[in-house]
Structure 1
Amino acid sequence: MRPSLSAVAVPTTRDVFGLAWPMTLKAIMLHGIVVIDAYLVSPLGEPALAALGLAGAVAGLLLGVLLSFANATQIRIAQAYGGGDPVFLKSALYSGMTISLAICAVGLLALGAGGGPLLDALAHDPWIAQEARRYLTVFAVVIAAEAVGQCLSSYFNGTGNTRIPLFSYMIGVPINVVVSLIFINGWLGAPAMGVVGAAIGSATGALLQAGFLTYSLMRRTGAYRDVIGWRNGTFAASVKRHLGFAAPIAATFISATVASNVCMLLYARLGVNEFAAMTLIMPWIMVAGTFGMSWAQATGIYVAQMLGRNVSGDALDTFLAGAWRAAGVAAGLVALFYMTICALSPWIYPDLHADTLSTFVGFWPILLLLPFPKGSNAICGNTLRAAGETIYVMHVFVWSQWLFRVPATAVLILYFDVPAFWVLAVLLLEELVKFPAFHLRLIRGDWKRAALLDLG
């Protein structure tokens, strides 16, 4: 392991980049699972894409919950690593894994009981509903593997080994593509399973990733089997403390994930071609935006460490100014990426209907502007969270989502029947709604005098 972060000097922009880039590539590959599935399924036509989008929206609810607790575990692990306490590290790791597996079990039971009827109610026709059901049944393996894999990824990120989770995806994603192609198209004597074949590829890749991360943990730490005791006296007390710490952070991510997937289910009420275009563009938005989000997370981690070492406000301002300038450059690159995808979409998706492609390309004005307020808001949110203002950050996200984004999306689709362009524009408007709440709080500067989050 690297030396404790508490012993490192005030970080530079290069330090943030060193922490952020492996997280970015790993996040791109995580979101890229959906992009890959959509791309490989797109030759089957719009109904197959609709089935994939519908099943993905339902499964995404549970994956989002798992990812939210993994993000909280990542901060907890980083605190333990900064303090150089092996008992704390062991407690944080096993507490996070216990919570992740419990959420997975409850979530899969809920999907088994209610996922089918929900898909039946939202699908455009019985074939789409049936294919979505079949995809979701196999995708349950992905959810179980990610329950383990995301927690272990958070452990390695928190200890500064951000490349190990990246390596796991470099192993799993190519296998995902190959296996998906075989089972979608029936190559090498395998059955041609269409949409379900994409789920088989995703499950194979996810299992390999979880296996690699488990092996890496055992090889480096022995899973802390030689460390005696628990941080809070007993394992149960450690799990309870971990859950209490994680709740406000997880609630923020859970709200964002639930709101996104509720909106995706609302998008299903658009016409098939417009819904197909939304199904294609949303994963690209997630994939392209990951660098800005990873940069903001890395910035937040370093801000927390600086506050813990009582670094002066002037030094914090200098550090954030550099991080903010780099975030602006990243936003410009993301916008350029969006423009490229729109321009090349006829070649990327040659088999799609002309109306679907026209809708997809027409999103470009929104995509050109979206990265800038989104990236700036992310820097603010992660900085405030690092300073302990987790409740404030949670409120900004939750109320902007549930008092603006979700109702606006529902009204535009269900009552005004507007084109998909204006539905997607709600994402940009949401960032503008959050902008003053985040930036005025940060400018006020109270967060600079915050103590490091309680590590008890």
Structure 2
Amino acid sequence: MNFVSKSNLIKNVSLAWPLALNAILVQSMVLVDLMLIANLGEVSVAALGLASAILAFFVGTQYALANGTQLILARAVGANDPRAMASSLVIGWLINGGLTLITSVVLLFSLDGLLNWLVDDPLVAEQACRYLQVSACMLLVSSLAQVMIAFFNGSGQTRVPLYGYLIEIPVNILISLVLIYGYLGFPELGLRGAAIGSLVAVSIRFGYLVWQLRRQGNLPIMASRKALNVSVVVAHFHEISPIAANFITLASGVMLHQMLFAQLDVYSFAAITLVMPWMQMGAQFVTSWALATSINISQFRGRHQTHLIADFVEQAVRIILLLGVALCLVFVAFGELLPIIYPRLDEQTQQALAVIAPIYILIPLVRTYNGLCGHSLRALGQSVKVLQIHFVTQWIIGIPYLALVVYFQGPLWAVFGSILLEECLKVHSFRKHLKRELALLTPLDSENNKEGEDSVSS
């Protein structure tokens, strides 16, 4: 490995480890609520699983829009253009905040009908409704915070969002614990108390990010805001829309998966609900390497050093495959620790967890590779191709398969195995398209190579 590749991988590590901890802390918010309400019984667990699936769609949309803005910001950072950075930040706020406001209002007005349509158990629907009524307010705060996180990540300051989550998590735990069980004289609110704890914690994190943003002395936010016009906003939205559509496709697919899983008996659905946050946390942990890779690719493009990308991605793929194997081993240990993590589960729930164990152990091996390929292709400007791959494997094959298995009351392993099926179907397409895009980046002459290497070394 040459010096340039090694230095770029070291830079990737410095970006990736705060992103990895961020991912753990983001998913831990769901786990905090899940572990705190697990003692309330299977109905509360199922209600949280249903509510979390709906929230995941809206949060996934926010993340999608912010992720598109993040790549634009990373290019501006590579070009050393503070005005473009500030402009992208303000436009990201307008788009993300505006869409979240509209969708939150729609969610609140249609909540009762949606939940009654999704689940037959009125107790599950009632508790999920209480949780989502509070969480709708949290979505607006989260949308603005997501754009600020994209700014710090895109500019290489990935530790700032990490510190924000380190502040948020203990606040979330303490307030949720007090309100769920009615400690210290507070009323016992159950699942609604968990939602209030999350709302307060996210608001505190938002205040911290605002304070950090004000410390960015070279960021002309006010001047960029005054210079905005409709054409600039439209151009920004046009660039991020394929990335947003891709993430929305995945998020809505995950939500539909959870809705179909909700048609199972309460014990099987509770088992899937208990496992899914851990799966998502593991996936996000490894995806941080893919996100860091995409940020570096975007910065290479901003500096016009595209000839360095192919070797950099090749090394990144090798590392993420090793991470995937390690994550599979972690899930083997997780399966053994489940009785300790959730000691009061019904015997039927424990049996369901044993059935799906081989599937959630194998999924990371495939998902990690797909994640790196997808993020790399987006950073290379192939967001539409990534969207096509996800759409075909998920909506044309995976979800219809899952619906049929659920309708005909197939075995639990066949139902849950739809996730693994989708990931396996993506591998060939991602590999083929990434290899083709990297081949197009082959340097045309050695002089350009040398100039790029000299600039990175300096």
Report the Cα offset of residue 148 of structure 1: 1.2
**Counterparts of 1:282 and 1:111 in 2: how far apart (Å)?**
23
The structure 2 residue matched to 1:449, chosen from 420, 441, 444, is 441
Write the distance in 2 (CA, Å) between the matches of 1:361 and 1:176. Answer: 31
Are 1:196 and 2:192 matched, yes or no? yes
Residue of structure 2 equivalent to 1:5: none
1:110 pairs with 2:103? no
CA distance in structure 2 between the partners assigned to 1:222 and 1:319 by the alignment:
30
Deviation at 1:308, TM superposition (A): 4.8
Matching of residue 289 in structure 1 with residue 283 in structure 2: yes
Residues 280-359 of structure 1: pairs in structure 2 closer than 5 A = 280-309=274-303, 311=305, 315-359=308-352
> Which residue of the other structure, out of 351, 354, 357, is the alignment partner of 1:361?
354
| 1:222 Cα deviation after fit | 8.0
Query: Residue 16 of structure 2 contacts residue 292 of structure 2 at CA under 8 Å; is this kept in 1?
Result: yes
Number of matched pairs: 440
Q: Distance in 2 between matches of 1:246 and 1:445?
A: 20
| Structure-2-length-normalised TM-score | 0.91
Q: Are residue 418 (structure 1) and residue 413 (structure 2) matched?
A: no
Q: Deviations 1:394-450 (Å, cap 9, x if unpaired)?
A: 111111111112111111112x21233222211111111111111112233466339
2:57 & 2:442 partners in 1: Cα distance? 33
Q: Say whether the 8 Å CA contact 2:90–2:221 is kept in structure 1.
A: no
Match of 1:269 among 251, 263, 271: 263
Q: CA deviation at 1:323?
A: 1.1
Structure 1 unaligned runs (5+)? Answer: 1-7, 452-456
Cα deviation 1:202-227 (Å, max 9, x = unaligned): 11111111111011101224863464
Superposed, 1:24-423 pairs within 5 Å as 24-221=20-217, 224-225=220-221, 227=223, 234-309=228-303, 311=305, 315-414=308-407, 416-423=408-415
Rate the CA distance shift 1:357–1:164 in 2: closer, same or farther, 3 A.
same
Between stretches 211-220 and 10-19, larger displacement belongs to 10-19
Read off the aligned partner of 2:435 and give its amino acid letter: I
Contact 2:309 2:438 in 1 (8 A): no
- The residue number in structure 2 matching 1:438 is 430
Give the superposition deviation at 1:260: 0.3
Q: Distance in 2 between matches of 1:388 and 1:234?
A: 25
The share of aligned pairs that are identical, in percent, is: 33
Counterpart AA for 1:146:
S
User: Alpha-carbon deviation of 1:285?
Assistant: 0.8
Structure 2: give runs of 5+ residues left out of the alignment.
444-458
Alignment check: 8 A CA contact 1:267 1:275 kept: yes
Measured against aligned partners, the alpha-carbon deviations of 1:377-400 in whole angstroms (never above 9, x if no partner) come to: 122222222221111111111111
Residue 52 to residue 73, structure 1, CA distance change in 2 (3 Å): same
Task: Give the RMSD, CA atoms, in angstroms.
Answer: 2.0
- Give the letter aligned to residue 401 of structure 2: A
Indicate how the Cα distance of structure 1 residues 365 and 262 shifts in structure 2: closer, same or farther if over 3 A, else same: same
Distance 1:240 1:127, change over 3 A: same
Cα distance, 1:276–1:306 mapped onto 2, change above 3 Å? same
Kept in 2, the 8 Å contact 1:405–1:426? The answer is yes
Task: Show the counterpart of 2:12.
Answer: 16
Q: Distance in 1 between matches of 2:303 and 2:222?
A: 30
Rate the CA distance shift 1:287–1:191 in 2: closer, same or farther, 3 A.
same
